[in-house]
Amino acid sequence: MMFDPQLRAKSAELQVAVRGLADILLAHEAASGTRKRARKEADATKFCLAVEALACNLILLKATRSNSKLAVPRSHAVIWQGNAVLGQHFLVAIDLLSAMGFIAEGRRGYRFSDKAKMRSLVEPLERLADYLPLAPPEWRAICQLDNPVLVILKEGKDEDGNAAAIAYRSTARSRKFENQVRSINRLLREADIEVVGQDDSGLSLGADGQIIAPYRRSLRRIFNNGTWLHGGRLAAGFWMSMEREERRRIRINGQPVAEVDYGQLFPRLAYVRAGAPQPEGDLYNVFRNGTGRDGCKKLMNALLFSQGPLRNWPEDTHRHFPDGINLRTAIEMLAAKHAPIAHLFGKGLGFQLMRIESDMLIEVLTELSAAGVIALPLHDAVLVAEAHWSVAKETMQAVFQRWSRSTCAIVSVKFHA
């Protein structure tokens, strides 16, 4: 489980428990003589904040009822980035928790490339339950503050697939992006959103190592490749890392959710870029009988993202094609079916299309908000309460029409009840 510095104690009982734990750690530090001078008031406040965030993360980890560990940052390159929780006081809090037998430290983090590193691991020990509500873990006593960093500009990925964030100068454009995300977060924070069954089954972790809890709804917008023209997708909502079938457990205003999404959006946006009319029907149905559709979808998106000719099959693609179809033949078939946009294949257009997709989704969320509809974004889709699926579908169709000047928007609805 990845450490979240934005977690805080929500209930008065947990706030008292955290303060008591911090006092015990400070007393141990004073008695052991590891610190020669008393902390200044501001430093003491930071230390208590670090203890609070660590305590909340450890409670959530315990609520997963798993053997997972908590991955915490120890690198100075990570912890000195302006977050009030992270800093030397954070490292001291970890060391004191370990020295008093409240946590066990596992693997220490290490760097395996210039930009990629493994975090250190810790886990709670039984003794910590004497000071924090771990048996059972009172995870509903925790809340998450909005992330102070609402917009992130990342470099291109390195050879390990990692992309570092870039410091950027605040401009009218970046402030506009921040205000959009801030408005979305404000609406989500006040919304009635729950995940049923978590009190009985416990919390779970998403594929990204983030906890799936209903209060994790503070979004960020991430741009790619060092430019505001690439990417821009929203990220960090708990529903984004849930398995598709698990989303049936989400409730908005007490109702099951419907997933309303754009079909075939990237190739249709490529037709817009090419100034060509939108074709009718399923753009991925190259073989006209549904055969190989999933493979055609993966291959077409790979062609739109690739910079230059594809030399190898994209991962998990070849098996979807009929026997005897090689990569060259498959590409030629796609190019023949989509001749108006074939010249865009291999031009690295994908991240630009992703930027358009993200702008469209921001527009959809804004209009649904004005209509009083809570919507959870999913790249090219939204989750809404079942009662609002038709409003969401009409809004998404209207937004596509404005961007493409075409009524040929493929918007589908899937019910998760």
**Together in a domain, 240 and 368:** yes
In a domain, 127, yes or no: yes
**Together in a domain, 91 and 167:** no
- Phi, psi for residue 303 in degrees, rounded to 5: -65, -35
**Together in a domain, 67 and 205:** no
Kindly tell me the burial class for residue 355, based on how many C-beta atoms sit within 10 Å of its own C-beta (0-12, 13-18, 19 or more): buried
**Together in a domain, 251 and 374:** yes
In a domain, 134, yes or no: yes
Average pLDDT of the residues in 229-245: 94
In a domain, 222, yes or no: yes
Span 102-135, pLDDT tens digits: 999 887 654 434 444 567 899 999 999 999 999 8
d(CA 375, CA 217): 12
- What secondary structure letter does DSSP report for 351? H
Average pLDDT of the residues in 165-193: 94
**Together in a domain, 362 and 242:** yes
Here the tokens at position 130 are: 């004497």
Which helix H or strand E contains 273, and what residues bound it? helix 265-274
> Is residue 312 pLDDT above 80, yes or no?
yes
* Length of the chain, in residues: 417
> Is residue 200 pLDDT above 70, yes or no?
yes
**Together in a domain, 233 and 369:** yes
How many structural domains comprise the chain? 2
**Together in a domain, 89 and 221:** no
Range of the domain at 51: 7-143
**Together in a domain, 220 and 189:** yes
In a domain, 283, yes or no: no
In a domain, 411, yes or no: yes
d(CA 255, CA 374): 12
In a domain, 132, yes or no: yes
**Together in a domain, 162 and 134:** no
d(CA 386, CA 258): 5
> Is residue 335 pLDDT above 60, yes or no?
yes
Average pLDDT of the residues in 355-376: 96
d(CA 159, CA 76): 23
Neighbours of 235 (CB within 10 A): 15
Query: 122 versus 405: which is more confidently predicted?
Result: 122
In a domain, 338, yes or no: no
181 within 8 A of 219, measured Cβ to Cβ = yes
Name every residue whose Cβ is closer than 8 Å to that of residue 170 and which is 6 or more positions away in sequence. none
Give the model's confidence band at 79: pLDDT under 50 very low, under 70 low, under 90 confident, else very high.
low
> Is residue 417 pLDDT above 70, yes or no?
no
Lowest mean pLDDT among 73-77, 140-144, 338-342, 349-353: 73-77
**Together in a domain, 33 and 150:** no
Query: pLDDT over 90 for what percent of the chain?
Result: 72
Query: 40 versus 97: which is more confidently predicted?
Result: 97
Tokens 């190898």 locate to: 312
Name every residue whose Cβ is closer than 8 Å to that of residue 247 and which is 6 or more positions away in sequence. 239, 257, 259, 383, 416
Single residue among 111, 143, 175 that ends a domain in this structure: 143
Single residue among 99, 117, 143 that ends a domain in this structure: 143
**Together in a domain, 164 and 119:** no
pLDDT number for residue 111: 43
pLDDT number for residue 77: 63
133-167 burial: b if 16+ Cβ within 10 Å, else e:
bbeebbbebbbbebbeebbbbbeeeeeeeebeeee
Torsion of the alpha carbons at 231, 236, 239 and 243, rounded to the nearest 10: 70
Provide the sign of the torsion angle of the four alpha carbons 360, 242, 316, 293, taken in this order: negative
pLDDT number for residue 143: 93
**Together in a domain, 216 and 160:** yes
Name 134's bridge partners: 137
Q: What is the rounded average pLDDT for all residues in the chain?
A: 90
Single residue among 143, 160, 184 that ends a domain in this structure: 143
In a domain, 312, yes or no: no
pLDDT number for residue 80: 61
How, if at all, do strands 255-262 and 411-415 pair? antiparallel
Write the single-letter amino acid at 149. Answer: V
